[in-house]
Amino acid sequence: MKAEATQKMKTAPRTGADLLVDSLIDQGVDTLFGYPGGAVLPIYDAIYRAGESFDHILPRHEQGAIHAAEGYARVSGRPGVVIGTSGPGATNLITGIADAMMDSLPVVIFTGQVAKGVIGTDAFQESDVMGITTPITKHNYQVQRIEDLPRVVKEAFHIATTGRPGPVVVDIPKDISSTVHESEVDSSFHLPGYQPTVNPNPLQIRKLHEALLQAKKPVVLAGAGVIHAKGSQELKQFVQNYELPVATTLLGLGSFPGSDRLSIGMAGMHGTYTANMALYESDLLINIGARFDDRLTGNLQHFAPKAKVAHVDIDPAEIGKNVLTDIPIVSDAKAALEALNQFASDQLDHREWLETTQKNKGEFPLWHVDYETDISPQWLMKKVHEYTNGDSIVTTDVGQHQMWAAQYYSFHQPNRWVTSGGLGTMGFGFPSAIGAQIADPEAKVIAIVGDGGFQMTMQELSLLQERKLPVKVVIVNNQALGMVRQWQESFYDKRYSHSLIETQPDFVKLAESYQIPGYRIDSPKQLEEVLPSVLNDPHPAVIDCRVMQEENVYPMIAPGKGLHEMIGVKR
Amino acid sequence: MKRIVTAIVHNRSGVLNRVTGLLAKRQFNIESISVGRTETEGVSKMTFVVDVEDERKLEQLTKQLNKQVDVLKVSDISEKAIVARELAMVKVISNPQIRSEIQSIIEPFRATVIDVSRESMTIQVTGNSDKVDALIDLLRPYGIKELARTGLTAFTRGHQKQVAEIKSYSLLK
């Protein structure tokens, strides 16, 4: 982790936009997600002149660009790069910037800005990008001098990709990108205020090891931090050494194989009974790379009440933020696990505990009802899993379909699950699938979306058609904003205020209008006939699956309740 | 509990906005902020007086501040040996008859009169916030026309007397 680097960039008479292009190439960027406009015309001209250097992906809305960049970042592990113009271009990116912030995704966003001379005059297509994005970025810049550009780009990529990843915005006034700059540019950077801690404190690691030796009911909670740190192998080794049950967070799915004997599934609001009870009963909770989100913890009073809590996080501010921590470990998840794996794995006396969790797994599994004539959404997820051998990349929006996908599509590997966890963004699933497919052209990518969320970004079908990407869109169509409807049913006495969507486009015809095959599936029989071949077809497709409208996501921790108060558990 | 927190920051445009925005977003109650340049070129110092519920909130505050790229160092100096000063200017209603009475009130505070008019006089006072508060309370009965305070600015003493049990918020305990 080097915060300092020196490089002199020799420049012919070149514009700021050329310097930007050079800097991007220098960072190894070859894919851009962007949308042109007035304030970025010089940048787009430079991109044009750079010819084959970039694969530029043009969405139909800036929100599509940034969600695609997020999907790209999630799957490739490389930063997603986004370009938007000033004013409305920048404000259309906001949802994605906030989403990337909440889910710690490395995204670098370049926004055009009006010329320096008119900033602050409410000029045409001006917006205060710095002011708007400060609370939702890891850091942001407005380039004031052309010679700062190469340094700022370097810093932006460094900040976005190191430590806890996150979005960085670089706002570039139009005169900066269009002015010719002839002299040499020094792009050395120095960030004394930014020095993420990567390696754990050995003392704290020792403490955790000692706690492990004493624990009777230890449990591991694995979050997305494990995936970001590429620490899945180390996690596997760690839990196998000590025979520890592993729960994952929503975003941590895939950090540990869902099918493994030691996996107790997802924890949290719609997690498994086994995982939540294990957290509730445990005497040592080892959180690795999760941030104790409220959707995970439920009522904090009842969260792991008997446990000594160890928390490994690269962001010191996460430790102790929501849950009091006994053993704080500021570290990259992989580095911490490597350090833990140095210890000899003495035989621990918690076999009884492991048996309890195994028994719970068998006795209180996830359950659902299958119907003769209607498709149950949970069954649909199981079928998607079956037909794709469980090895596809799955992206989702937020809501019921997201929870069903999380529950029933068991992930074996990291970076296969792309979902909007923290911000809970409708419209995320489809464009992020496009980005995921661009990052991994060989992968099978399934966008599981709700009928509500899909309608927020479905214009990107045009991009799908243009790029000939074989993404499959599976619409879990219950003609409702399902999770809203479920909450209204449960907590608002069935007053379905504006959550039932009676008028919808014909999704099959919609797909066909983009020359993408569309399918409508109404019955389980039809699903079994159509879905296997469509999912394994090398072309894109939109599959409109009509599912039971009244189906709810269970089990559940109701708002304000504790981990041990799950409802909808089959007994 | 009231705490005095200082932050050494890069002197860049938008940094104050970044820091106050962060505190507002996380619902920290700021009582005062003062900012100014330091002995180092390009580096400024912010002094916050904040009211936090407990030590956990305080720890979260310092950690969040520390996360900012433009923030170089954060210290909670509330329990250290510090020098802390605030400047206030108070315009008090006064006529020639009571001017000397006011003079005698402000004298023990080592405050000075910096402007006089027919119906008012302006007093400047520096000191810790309690002293400033006390003087303002004494002047209030005369009628305060205008009041401006800078907020506290502070740093640790040159010769740090070892104060017993300085609370440390390090993760290394």
Mean pLDDT, residues B137-162: 89
- Exposure of A180 in the CB half-sphere (CA atoms within 13 A): 4
Cβ separation of B171 and A159 shorter than 8 Å? no
Say how far apart CA A520 and CA A530 lie, in whole Å.
Answer: 9
Output the domain CATH number for residue A91.
3.40.50.970
Characterize the bridge pairing of strands A308-313 and A55-57: unpaired
pLDDT over 80 (residue A46): yes
Q: Are residues A256 and A355 in the same domain?
A: yes
pLDDT at B170 over 70: no
Q: How far apart are CA B48 and CA A50, in angstroms?
A: 49
Q: How confident is the model at residue A563 (pLDDT cuts 50, 70, 90)?
A: very high
Question: A101, A403, A458, A483: which is the annotated catalytic residue?
Answer: A483
Quick one: pLDDT at residue A307?
Answer: 98
Q: How far apart are the first and last CA of chain A?
A: 51
Question: Cα dist. A309→A304, A320, A452, A466 in Å?
Answer: 8, 10, 39, 50
Query: Does the distance separating the beta carbons of A330 and B66 come in below 8 Å?
Result: no
Residue A361 catalytic? no
Alpha carbons A476 and A553: distance in angstroms, whole number: 13
Answer yes or no: is pLDDT of A295 > 50.
Answer: yes
pLDDT at A3 over 50: no
B116, pLDDT greater than 70:
yes
Total of domains in chain A = 3
CA distance A167 to chain B (A): 13
The verdict on whether omega for the bond into residue A200 sits within 30 degrees of 0, i.e. cis, is no
Q: Is the pLDDT of residue A127 over 50?
A: yes
Residue A420, min C-alpha distance to chain B (Å):
22
- Rounded CA gap, B54 and A183, in Å? 54
Q: Confidence band (pLDDT; 50, 70, 90) for B162?
A: low
**Chain A residues close to B172, C-beta within 8 Å:** 201, 203-204
Active-site residue, selected from the candidate residues A174, A308, A383, A472? A174
With a cut of 70, say whether residue A196 has pLDDT above it.
yes
A342 and A406 in a single domain? The answer is no
Look up the CATH number of the domain holding residue A335: 3.40.50.1220
pLDDT top residue among B14 and A139: A139
* ipTM of model: 0.90
Q: Is residue A192 a part of any domain in this protein? A: no
Band the pLDDT of A344: cuts 50, 70, 90.
Answer: confident
B159: confidence class by pLDDT, cuts 50, 70, 90: confident
- For residue A284, tell me if it sits in a domain: yes
- Mark whether A249 and A134 lie in a shared domain: no
Q: Is A62 an annotated catalytic residue?
A: yes
Any domain includes A193: no
Say yes or no: A213 and A309 in one domain: yes
* A235 is a domain residue: yes
**Statement to judge: residues A172 and A251 lie in one domain:** no
| Residue-level pLDDT at A2 | 40
- How high is the pLDDT of residue A425? 98
Q: Are residues A54 and A174 in the same domain?
A: yes
Q: What is the mean pLDDT of residues A506-522?
A: 98
Chain A residues 122-181 within an 8 A CB cutoff of chain B: 130-131, 134-135, 138-139, 142, 144, 159
Same domain, A513 and A384: yes
Q: Determine the distance in angstroms separating the CA of B52 from the nearest CA of chain A, rounded to an integer.
A: 14
**pLDDT tens-place string over residues B15-53:** 999 999 999 999 999 999 999 999 999 999 999 999 999
Out of A131, A315, A320, the one facing B56 most closely (by C-beta) is: A320
Chain A contacts of B69, Cβ < 8 Å? 138-139, 159, 191, 193-194
**A85 and A109 part of one domain:** yes
Percent of chain B with pLDDT over 90: 84
- The confidence score (pLDDT) of residue A502 equals 85
pLDDT for A180 beyond 90: yes
In the predicted model, is pLDDT for residue B172 greater than 60?
no
Number of CB atoms found within 10 A of residue A53's CB: 16
Helix axes A400-408, A377-387, angle to 10 degrees: 50
The band of A345, judged by pLDDT with boundaries at 50, 70 and 90, is confident
pTM of the model: 0.94
Measured distance CA(A420)–CA(A250) in Å, rounded: 10
Confidence at A547, pLDDT banded by 50, 70, 90: very high
Compute the distance between CA of residue A439 and CA of residue A446 in angstroms, rounded to an integer.
14
Domain assignment present for residue A247? The answer is yes
Specify the 3-state DSSP secondary structure of A124: coil
Co-location of A297 and A340 in the same domain: yes
Same domain, A384 and A318: no
**Nearest residue of chain A to residue B171 (CA atoms):** A328
Q: Which of A130, A159, A317 sits opposite B63 (nearest CB)?
A: A317
Average pLDDT over residues A163-182: 96
pLDDT at A260 over 50: yes
- pLDDT, residue A12, reads 53
What DSSP element (H or E) covers A178?
Answer: helix A174-178
| Residue A475, domain member (yes or no) | yes
A548 is catalytic: no
Identify the pLDDT of residue A190.
Answer: 85
Nearest to A317 among B10, B25, B64 (CB): B64
Q: Which of A147, A181, A215 is the last residue of a domain?
A: A181
Q: ∠ CA A5-A10-A11 to the nearest 5 degrees?
A: 125
Q: Tell me if A223 sits within 8 A of A312, measured CB to CB.
A: no
For residue A190, being part of any structural domain is answered with: no
pLDDT at B107: 95
Q: How many CB atoms lie within 10 A of CB A415?
A: 21
Of A181, A211, A246, which one is at a domain's C-terminal end? A181
pLDDT above 80: residue A10: no
In contact, A24 and A109? CB cutoff 8 Å: no
User: CB-based contact (8 Å) between A206 and chain B?
Assistant: no
Domain boundary among A363, A391, A419: A363
Instruction: Say yes or no: A353 and A381 in one domain.
Output: no
Closest chain A residue to B71, measured at CA: A193
Q: A201 contacts in B (CB within 8 Å)?
A: 171-172
SS3 A297: helix
- Give residue-wise pLDDT tens across range B42-90: 999 999 999 999 999 999 999 999 999 999 999 999 988 889 999 999 9
What is the arithmetic mean of pLDDT over A218-245?
97
Mean pLDDT of A191-210: 96
Looking at the complex, report in whole angstroms how far the Cα of residue B73 sits from the nearest Cα belonging to chain A: 8
In a domain, A495, yes or no: yes
Pick A319's closest partner by Cβ from B21, B71, B171: B171
Interfacial residues of B (vs A; Cβ cutoff 8 Å): 9-10, 13-14, 17-18, 21-22, 25, 56, 59-60, 63-64, 66-72, 171-173
Q: Is A124 a catalytic residue?
A: yes
The more confident residue out of B71 and A6 is B71
Tens digits of residue pLDDT in A353-368:
999 999 999 999 999 9
pLDDT at A187 over 90: no
Residues of A with Cβ-Cβ distance to B45 under 8 angstroms: none
Coil, strand or helix at B24: helix
Domain interval for residue A542 = 377-546
Residue A174 a catalytic site member: yes
Q: Which residue has the higher pLDDT, A183 or A380?
A: A380
A567 CB within 8 Å of a chain B CB = no
Residue A68 has pLDDT above 50, yes or no: yes
pLDDT confidence bin for B161, thresholds 50/70/90: low
Say whether both A73 and A152 belong to one domain. Answer: yes
Between chains, do A315 and B67 touch, taking CB under 8 Å as contact?
yes
| Of the candidates A138, A140, A149, the residue with the CA atom closest to the CA atom of residue A24 | A149
CA dist A290 and A319 (Å) reads 10
Name every chain B residue with its beta carbon within 8 A of the beta carbon of A148: none
Rounded mean pLDDT of A226-250? 97
Q: What is the pLDDT of residue B160?
A: 62
Query: Is B14 within 8 Å of A134 when comparing Cβ atoms?
Result: yes
Write down the pLDDT at residue A13: 61
